[in-house]
Amino acid sequence: MRGLFAVCAGVAIGSAPDVVAQEFPPKQITIIVGFPAGGGTDFFARVFAQKLAPALGASVIVENRAGAAGTLGTGLVVRAAPNGQTLLFTPSNLAMTQAISRNLTFDARKDLAPITMTAKIAFVLVIHPSLPARNVKELVALAKARPGALDYGSSGAGSPPNFAAELFKYKAGVDIRHIPYKGAGQILTSLLAGEVQSSFLIPPIARQHMQGGKLRGLAVTTPQRSVAVPELPTLHEAGVADYDVTQWHGFFAPAKTPVAIINRLHTEIVKSLATPEIKQRLVAEGAEAAGGAPAELGAFLAEEIRMWSDLAQRIRLSSE
């Protein structure tokens, strides 16, 4: 009897993930966004929700749980049941906050199951036109001649523009002061008014104000030029060797979510990336579609955390 019980118990335990997978998709799926409504991450989450709902035959809603640089929302997904009902849609802040935050209650590499990266986007290094620099080399020369006199704005310690600027400073060997703001809107207002001299902006916003002569674009942060501002060189081309900062977005589920559910979600998300509507919206935002395998996103995230942790240690960057 003990042997029979063991066999039966083993079957029941071993089949549990299969049972969960068979019950997928549920009636409702919630996509958690750890940032306020109206921002770029929220915008794309809602676009994907509209596409996934009919594809999965489920109601797909977006829930904004802003706070703690996105970690509040991430924590909710980490603690959610691994049944495909709760997903995380996040930008690259996920890796950056993991790299510098000392009080996180989760490890994104272990506590989340990657599904797919959806998009990659460059930042544009912009300066106020009052600065006498026409290119990156002139900006670096100006910063070296006036150490600590120039400044840049970001949306706070650990944000992508903050890391983009700190990597630029580290690789170019310059001292530029950090001026933190509460959001991209405040940074732009201060940039246009000349209250802050430089920042890293997404291509659509940078292009709009470059065309009006209110900002001067110098370079993009990705290894390849951006289709949104093809006239601008990469920072590597402009003389900052091996510079690479890529903003990205991706989907994750709680760890231990059955592979069958991950694969189904991956398939439907990648299909949605190929639709004309999402293609057009990505182009409008200066972004490129991604759509790699779950394992690719997992490996990419681990490398991002390693890279940003290394930089944070070198320059003593902390969110505390």
Cα–Cα distances in Å, from 69 out to 93, 137, 168, 235? 7, 33, 22, 27
Cα–Cα distance for residue pair 254/271, rounded to 1 Å: 22
- DSSP conformation class of 155: S
Q: How many CA atoms lie within 13 A of 154 on its CB side?
A: 22
Q: What is the pLDDT of residue 4?
A: 40
Q: Which of 118, 119, 103, 74 is nearest to 254 (CA)?
A: 74
Q: What is the pLDDT of residue 5?
A: 39
Q: What is the pLDDT of residue 19?
A: 60
Q: What is the pLDDT of residue 18?
A: 64
Q: Write the single-letter amino acid at 67.
A: G
Cα–Cα distance for residue pair 165/311, rounded to 1 Å: 12
The per-residue pLDDT string of the chain (320 residues; one tens digit each, 9 = 90 and over) reads 444 434 444 444 445 566 666 789 999 999 999 999 988 899 999 999 999 999 999 999 999 999 988 999 999 999 999 999 999 999 999 999 999 988 899 999 999 999 999 999 999 999 999 999 999 999 999 999 999 999 999 988 888 999 999 999 999 999 999 999 988 889 999 999 999 999 999 999 999 999 999 999 999 999 999 989 999 999 999 999 999 999 999 999 999 999 999 999 999 999 999 999 899 989 888 899 999 999 999 999 999 999 999 999 999 887 65
Torsion of CA 184, 189, 193, 196, to 10 degrees: -20
Q: Which of 200, 218, 125 is nearest to 159 (CA)?
A: 200
In three-state secondary structure terms, 163 is: helix
User: What Rg do the C-alpha atoms of the chain give, in angstroms?
Assistant: 22
Sign of CA dihedral 298, 300, 306, 308: negative
Q: Write the single-letter amino acid at 266.
A: H
* Structural domains in the chain, sorted by start: 25-121+247-315 (3.40.190.150), 124-220 (3.40.190.10)
Q: What is the pLDDT of residue 20?
A: 64
pTM of the model: 0.90
